A and B are shown apart, each in its own frame.
Chain A
Amino acid sequence: MSRIGIAGWNQSSFQERMEDVNRNELIFTTVYELLEKTGVDIEDIDSIVSASCDTVDGISISSAYADDAMGAFMKEESKVEEDGAYALMYAYHRLLMGQWRNCLIVAHGKSSDAGPAFYANMMCDPFLLRPLGLETISSAALQAAAYYHRYGVSEEDAARVVVKNRAAGKRNPHTQVRSEVSLEEVLRSPYLASPIKQLEVPPVSDGAVAVLLATEDYARQVTDSPVWVDGVGFCQDVYYPGHKELSHSVSCQKAARDAYRQVGIGDPLKELDLAEVSEGFSFQELLLYENLGFCDQGKGARLIQDGTTDFEGAFPVNPSGGTLCANATMVAGLARIIECCRQLTRSAGENQVQKDLNRALAHASSGLFLQSNLVTILSI
């Protein structure tokens, strides 16, 4: 079974509102630039897996017209209705069959066209959840309240995540929010849905990402520094919030364990060099530390207090600024993967983590209350 690697990537800018670009133009420029960067012609692309959502685009069968824009004319193609990281997982397994040399992965999401509240409330079943007005922020707030209560985590610990990620975002030319914020400012910002404050909420983002995944020999023809996909674990747990313990995420634990088993990792904090997680909200990054096995349950705050996960720390997490700096629906998880690629290939420029980097973890999630999680292990 040949190794599978990322031979190239391209990311549009992430903006709060891309008003003078329509969906197909955003997709075309993002994919066309990738082909120019990698010197690969559209004729050489063997297969395409795209990721998008009808509800974000406001168009049913959203890939139908989008396919013309991503070069899928007369191609073997399929579409995943999850974050782009799930499309990379599916493409990874397709390539393991040995039937194709490469697969182009394209994820797009103009979240500003409809806004995340409707997208999230429409995920709620009409009988027990939708009438309550549950959506992204209020569902995260319910999880935060349970997490703080169970493990005695303080709102200040959570606020530190915002300070860390916004400082990283200031250095990252590829992200959207590029300004720092102080701990006091975060703690003073008003509650949107207690205990989540205004500055602890991810921005609305429009953007697209394209990745060229390939078998080892094709990848080496395209680049001399492919980033290997060593393992992918993913999992979905229970739907209704009242049917599960919100202070941790069983599906995140199982996804991480599955990925570590494939790669032979025992202690992720020691055997990984860096992680990019889809933290969504401040507290969720701490909860993800615990459920990705970086530390014990309830001890996530210590990793932020002692600076382990800082930019210069022993185990940097979200040196890109994470989703607190850019959060395009259906794209944010794949963006974490290419942020890992930038770091591993030492092409992150001003934002480059200095320590040795051989193996990184990228995390994506889908659904409310971290119901579904996906962990990708990358190495150089």
Chain B
Amino acid sequence: MARKVAVVGIGMTENKSHWDMSIPALYRMGASRALEDSGLNVDDLDAVVFGHSPEYFEGINHPEKWCGEAVGAYNKPLFRIHTGGSVGASAAIGAYYMVASGKYDVVLAISGNKLNETSSAQIGLSTVYDPIMGRQFAAGAPSAVALQANRYYSTHGYSDEHGLMVAVKNRLNALNNPYAQLKLPGYTLEMARNTPMLCYPLRMADMCPTSDAVCCMIFAAEDRVESITDNPGWVLNAVSTNEGVDYVDRDWGKPIGLRLAADKAYERAGIKDPRQELDVVEVYDAFSAQELIWYEGLKLCDWGEGGSLMESGATEMTGDIPVNPSGGVLSANSIGAAAMFRLAEAALQVMGKADQRQVEGARLSLGHGWGGAIQFHTLMLFSKDKP
């Protein structure tokens, strides 16, 4: 059976424009902070799983070749994973699986992007579309999610007001997170409502910033964990699914790929009622409305009740199931690191190392990331107690 694995070190860079660091230098900062946090050095690493999302965002093909030695992978096994926006989580999941396989004891996962290396991230993003089927007719990421949000709101009788509630909750949470980019003290619904409507029903307040950032997590096998740290983040399990893009009978307001991932993760971890058993959740809220939709996919409530769950205040820091204490992707989005930040924040909660954004007594947490054409869903479940 798979070996038990825990997170023993986490390294994050601030989400901002790192105008003074090259891509390898930013990766090195992420890796050295994780090594420092775990007390390990590069010689302790058995392998590296390197995440980086689309090459055309920074114009570097196979960046893991240029940046490998900057993350401590000199003469070590290293391979790259790339699944778009969910790459940060896919890389962490890759490192978890490599350790759980029994062949590697200590594996570093690292992922990030420097979106400010292009004059406009949108030019890079436009290369996501199939050149024949869509590139000259590009929907653009915000408008694709706007189609999802509009479908969801109208199907369940919600409005963009519910999205604004998410935007305000996460921007206020971000004030407790030194790594978040957007710091908007005293942010209110009026302030959010007054931002321009960019892609109906999404206003600027409902959308994420673009930033440079790298996130790094070190995974260790059970027999090495005690010697490294006394408050590890035990991994219960991890799942990454693909829902598909153009499949027959797709309802853009109903994420069946996320529900598939959640069912598998909960079943493998023995979780019957996620709403009661989970203490804290970090979801990939690149756009505010999505957080409501992910509540339902993750079975924190039934289909169609995401808006009501938000209204109930349950997902606030004071609620019974806080979501995104870190401020989420709405407050910091480097695409390459964003999904790993979700897992890292979920791990920090059960490790009791989330400082001002700590949810008291958190013992069971979940991190989620999505990517591609809203089709990849990645989950990792963490526990304070060894499974």
Interface residues of A (CB under 8 A from B): 1, 22, 48, 53-55, 58-61, 63-65, 67-68, 72-82, 86, 89-90, 92-94, 96-99, 119-120, 122-123, 125-127, 233-239, 250-251, 254-255, 258, 262, 366-368, 371-372
By the criterion CB–CB under 8 Å, are B97 and A67 in contact? no
Cβ contacts under 8 Å, B54 to chain A:
54, 60-61
Cβ contacts under 8 Å, B103 to chain A:
93, 96, 262
By the criterion CB–CB under 8 Å, are B100 and A123 in contact? no
What is the distance, in angstroms, from A307's C-beta to the closest C-beta of chain B? 34
What is the distance, in angstroms, from B49's C-beta to the closest C-beta of chain A? 9
Known A-B contacts A61-B372, A239-B66, A371-B65; A77 and B242 likewise in contact (beta carbons under 8 Å): yes
What is the distance, in angstroms, from A200's C-beta to the closest C-beta of chain B? 24
- Could you show 7 A-B contacts with beta carbons less than 8 Å apart? A60-B125, A72-B244, A80-B81, A81-B52, A90-B94, A93-B104, A99-B237
CA distance A72 to B246 in the complex (A): 12
CA distance A48 to B373 in the complex (A): 18
| Number of B residues with CB within 8 Å of any CB on chain A | 69
Cβ contacts under 8 Å, A73 to chain B:
242-244, 247
Cβ contacts under 8 Å, B59 to chain A:
122, 126
Q: A236-B65, A236-B68 are in contact. List 17 more A-B contacts (CB 8 A).
A: A53-B62, A58-B127, A59-B129, A60-B54, A67-B242, A67-B375, A72-B242, A78-B83, A90-B98, A94-B101, A99-B268, A119-B61, A122-B61, A234-B78, A236-B75, A236-B77, A367-B65
By the criterion CB–CB under 8 Å, are A78 and B61 in contact? no
Known A-B contacts A55-B61, A61-B128; A81 and B82 likewise in contact (beta carbons under 8 Å): yes
Known A-B contacts A76-B239, A238-B74; A54 and B55 likewise in contact (beta carbons under 8 Å): yes
What is the distance, in angstroms, from B131's C-beta to the closest C-beta of chain A? 6
List B189-246 residues whose CB lies under 8 Å from chain A. Answer: 237, 239-246
Q: Which of B55, B76, B104, B242 contacts A122 (CB 8 A)?
A: B55
By the criterion CB–CB under 8 Å, are A89 and B81 in contact? no
CA distance A93 to B101 in the complex (A): 5
B137 in the interface, Cβ–Cβ < 8 Å?
no
CA distance A54 to B246 in the complex (A): 20
List B116-132 residues whose CB lies under 8 Å from chain A. Answer: 124-125, 127-132
B256 in the interface, Cβ–Cβ < 8 Å?
yes
- Determine the residue in chain B with the shortest Cβ distance to A251: B75
By the criterion CB–CB under 8 Å, are A238 and B242 in contact? no
Cβ contacts under 8 Å, A89 to chain B:
79
What is the distance, in angstroms, from B122's C-beta to the closest C-beta of chain A? 12
What is the distance, in angstroms, from B343's C-beta to the closest C-beta of chain A? 15
Interface centre among B55, B104, B133, B257 (most CB of A within 10 A): B55
- Determine the residue in chain A with the shortest Cβ distance to B372: A64
CA distance A73 to B1 in the complex (A): 27
CA distance A114 to B143 in the complex (A): 30
Interface centre among B54, B69, B244, B268 (most CB of A within 10 A): B244
By the criterion CB–CB under 8 Å, are A99 and B2 in contact? yes
Number of A-B contacts (CB under 8 A): 193
By the criterion CB–CB under 8 Å, are B128 and A59 in contact? yes
The 6 closest A-B pairs by CB, nearest first: A60-B54, A122-B61, A97-B2, A61-B84, A93-B101, A64-B372
Interface centre among A58, A74, A81 (most CB of B within 10 A): A81
What is the distance, in angstroms, from A134's C-beta to the closest C-beta of chain B? 12
By the criterion CB–CB under 8 Å, are B65 and A78 in contact? no
Cβ contacts under 8 Å, B181 to chain A:
none
CA distance A72 to B373 in the complex (A): 14
- Determine the residue in chain B with the shortest Cβ distance to A237: B75
CA distance A239 to B245 in the complex (A): 36
By the criterion CB–CB under 8 Å, are A63 and B2 in contact? no
What is the distance, in angstroms, from B66's C-beta to the closest C-beta of chain A? 5
Q: Which of A68, A239, A366 contacts B244 (CB 8 A)?
A: A68
What is the distance, in angstroms, from A128's C-beta to the closest C-beta of chain B? 10
By the criterion CB–CB under 8 Å, are B246 and A68 in contact? yes
Known A-B contacts A61-B84, A123-B65; A234 and B77 likewise in contact (beta carbons under 8 Å): yes
CA distance A234 to B239 in the complex (A): 25
CA distance A238 to B68 in the complex (A): 8
B60 in the interface, Cβ–Cβ < 8 Å?
yes
Q: Which of A78, A126, A239, A368 contacts B94 (CB 8 A)?
A: A78
What is the distance, in angstroms, from A254's C-beta to the closest C-beta of chain B? 6
Cβ contacts under 8 Å, B64 to chain A:
81, 236
By the criterion CB–CB under 8 Å, are B2 and A60 in contact? no
What is the distance, in angstroms, from A132's C-beta to the closest C-beta of chain B? 15
By the criterion CB–CB under 8 Å, are B94 and A64 in contact? no
List B345-365 residues whose CB lies under 8 Å from chain A. Answer: none
CA distance A238 to B65 in the complex (A): 8
B295 in the interface, Cβ–Cβ < 8 Å?
no
Cβ contacts under 8 Å, B75 to chain A:
235-237, 250-251, 254
CA distance A265 to B328 in the complex (A): 50
By the criterion CB–CB under 8 Å, are B240 and A64 in contact? no
By the criterion CB–CB under 8 Å, are A80 and B79 in contact? yes
By the criterion CB–CB under 8 Å, are B101 and A74 in contact? no
CA distance A234 to B48 in the complex (A): 11
Known A-B contacts A60-B128, A93-B101, A98-B1; A78 and B78 likewise in contact (beta carbons under 8 Å): no
B303 in the interface, Cβ–Cβ < 8 Å?
no
List B241-255 residues whose CB lies under 8 Å from chain A. Answer: 241-247
Cβ contacts under 8 Å, B98 to chain A:
90, 93
B325 in the interface, Cβ–Cβ < 8 Å?
no
By the criterion CB–CB under 8 Å, are B256 and A54 in contact? no
- Determine the residue in chain B with the shortest Cβ distance to A75: B242
Cβ contacts under 8 Å, A233 to chain B:
77
What is the distance, in angstroms, from A174's C-beta to the closest C-beta of chain B? 26
- Determine the residue in chain A with the shortest Cβ distance to B62: A123
Cβ contacts under 8 Å, A254 to chain B:
75
By the criterion CB–CB under 8 Å, are A64 and B245 in contact? yes
CA distance A86 to B47 in the complex (A): 13
Interface centre among B103, B133, B246 (most CB of A within 10 A): B103
What is the distance, in angstroms, from B72's C-beta to the closest C-beta of chain A? 11
Cβ contacts under 8 Å, A75 to chain B:
241-242
What is the distance, in angstroms, from A96's C-beta to the closest C-beta of chain B? 4
- Determine the residue in chain B with the shortest Cβ distance to A253: B75
By the criterion CB–CB under 8 Å, are B80 and A80 in contact? yes
Known A-B contacts A122-B59, A122-B61; A94 and B97 likewise in contact (beta carbons under 8 Å): yes
- Determine the residue in chain A with the shortest Cβ distance to B85: A61
B53 in the interface, Cβ–Cβ < 8 Å?
yes
CA distance A374 to B174 in the complex (A): 43
- Determine the residue in chain B with the shortest Cβ distance to A129: B66
Q: Which of B65, B128, B131, B264 contacts A368 (CB 8 A)?
A: B65
